Amino acid sequence: MKTEKIAYIKNDGERRIIVTKSGKNIAVFGENENARAVAQSHGFLLKGEF
């Protein structure tokens, strides 16, 4: 599984949009560990603090 570095995070009301340096993005509700699980379900790992 490929590791993606986080470029920035946008807040969009209840959810956060995590955008990676290669342009992938995922919408996350809730806690940070949930974000890692969502990224894995999309086929990549997140690297960085958020």
**CA atoms within 13 A of residue 5's CA, in its CB half-sphere:** 2
Of the pLDDT bands very low, low, confident and very high (cuts 50, 70, 90), residue 6 is very high
* Structure confidence at residue 50 (pLDDT): 65
DSSP state for residue 31 in the 8-state scheme: -
* Structure confidence at residue 3 (pLDDT): 94
* Structure confidence at residue 29 (pLDDT): 83
Instruction: For residue 21, give both structure tokens.
Output: 């340096």
Model confidence, pTM: 0.75
* Structure confidence at residue 40 (pLDDT): 92
DSSP state for residue 48 in the 8-state scheme: S
Query: 42 in the Ramachandran plot: left (φ > 0), alpha (ψ -120 to 50) or beta?
Result: alpha
Tens digits of per-residue pLDDT, 20-45?
999 999 998 876 668 888 899 989 99
